[in-house]
A = this chain, B = another copy of it.
């Protein structure tokens, strides 16, 4: 390859915080970013070359994006795989991860089956299209159980906990559409692994590796993810778990990657039951559970995604030091969508080794992801102090229209 100015262009479907942090990471590499996003002046807009205003399934916008791009990727699963493939084909531009992978992941039933086919341990589940099927599934799986919409759910939306058999009809109405029901997993902790598929591994001689080869597979260090109400609140890496649990999680994540096609980073979410590592779900893009890598690793998940998609060798995924992060979410008490104004962030700036990331969203609403704070610990120390401090710093902030959560 050569470096040019203006550089090659990475077209990204979605211009939220992930698109913004992709833009921040791409610039030093000489890669320009153009995003498609429906929100005028989306979070990525101030730090990327251009925003094409359009919905994620706006064929015209995607074609205009492809015409300006050297590669296409996406930072949101709402991207339309068929349109992406068509826009890429028409412009002669590769799409990574592959649209087929996006299709697999968009339907949780198809996703689970693909994982089973790759020998990834998946919680017991059943497809349910009506109440009778759900009752039958609950007879087999027992209660409690988790009902999950097959498509479109995220951050707790599209899921319903079924405490007992009598909740079945209400739960099915709540998820409103094709669904699957999973055994309730009693986990000790949740873990996440940012997997990477690239053209070559760090240290490989790039001359030996063709971009279209199967390429290299790697993973960032395993991360503990802490959810409340199914929304990620904080992360800690290394996880507070025995070494063998971390090794097992990494192995499962690498098996998950086997089932997926195309270059990029993948956020693999797992349950650790103490006895087993079970697959939860995977996102074919940078993921909230990997934000800590910006300061905590030698290469960030965002730079890694840019490297991978553009066919560069993967970067070094090593962890610099124990690192924790906490999300800045709109408080649950916030009503409507008032302008975003965060107070109490001075303490983050005043804390050595704390790092603020503000996403630039104009409006805040309850539980909206508005930013995050990362605390890097002492090398060789443990992660508890960093996690406690990240949470304290988060708890010290509030939106003028309500608290943070």
Q: Which residues of A contact B (CB under 8 A)?
A: 1-7, 20-21, 23-24, 27-30, 32, 41, 46-49, 200, 202-207, 298, 307, 312-313, 315-316, 318, 320, 339-343, 345-347, 349-353, 355-362, 371, 376, 379, 400
- B340–A4 CB distance below 8 A: yes
- A7–B362 CB distance below 8 A: no
- A202 to B3 Cα, complex, angstroms: 38
- B48–A48 CB distance below 8 A: no
Min distance, Cβ A262 to any Cβ of chain B, angstroms: 19
Min distance, Cβ A229 to any Cβ of chain B, angstroms: 24
- A29 to B343 Cα, complex, angstroms: 14
Could you jot down 27 A-B contacts, CB within 8 Å?
A1-B345, A2-B342, A2-B343, A2-B345, A3-B340, A4-B339, A5-B339, A5-B361, A6-B46, A7-B358, A20-B27, A23-B47, A28-B357, A28-B358, A30-B360, A30-B371, A46-B49, A47-B47, A202-B350, A204-B350, A206-B350, A207-B346, A298-B376, A307-B349, A313-B350, A316-B353, A379-B379
Quick one: which of A4, A27, A361, A371 has the most chain B CB within 10 A?
A27
Given contacts A27-B46, A320-B320, contact A3 B203 (CB under 8 A): no
Given contacts A1-B345, A371-B3, contact A27 B28 (CB under 8 A): no
Min distance, Cβ A55 to any Cβ of chain B, angstroms: 22
Chain B residues, Cβ within 8 Å of A298 = 352-353, 376
Given contacts A28-B355, A320-B320, contact A349 B312 (CB under 8 A): yes
Chain B residues, Cβ within 8 Å of A204 = 350
- A28 to B295 Cα, complex, angstroms: 12
- B313–A349 CB distance below 8 A: yes
In the complex, residue of chain B having the shortest beta-carbon distance to the beta carbon of A303? B355
Chain B residues, Cβ within 8 Å of A6 = 41, 46, 360, 362
Chain B residues, Cβ within 8 Å of A21 = 28
Which of B27, B347, B379 is the one whose CB lies under 8 Å from A47? B27
Given contacts A27-B47, A206-B347, contact A5 B362 (CB under 8 A): yes
Chain B residues, Cβ within 8 Å of A345 = 1-3
Min distance, Cβ A298 to any Cβ of chain B, angstroms: 5
Given contacts A7-B360, A316-B353, contact A2 B341 (CB under 8 A): yes
Given contacts A1-B346, A2-B345, A352-B298, contact A358 B30 (CB under 8 A): yes
- A389 to B379 Cα, complex, angstroms: 24
In the complex, residue of chain B having the shortest beta-carbon distance to the beta carbon of A33? B46
Which of B29, B203, B355, B371 is the one whose CB lies under 8 Å from A350? B203
Chain B residues, Cβ within 8 Å of A340 = 3-5
- A46–B32 CB distance below 8 A: yes
In the complex, residue of chain B having the shortest beta-carbon distance to the beta carbon of A295? B298
- B349–A206 CB distance below 8 A: yes
Min distance, Cβ A189 to any Cβ of chain B, angstroms: 28
- A202–B352 CB distance below 8 A: yes
- A118 to B204 Cα, complex, angstroms: 53
Chain B residues, Cβ within 8 Å of A357 = 28
Chain B residues, Cβ within 8 Å of A23 = 27, 47
In the complex, residue of chain B having the shortest beta-carbon distance to the beta carbon of A3? B342
- A203–B351 CB distance below 8 A: yes
- A46 to B206 Cα, complex, angstroms: 28
- A358 to B24 Cα, complex, angstroms: 13
- A5 to B46 Cα, complex, angstroms: 11
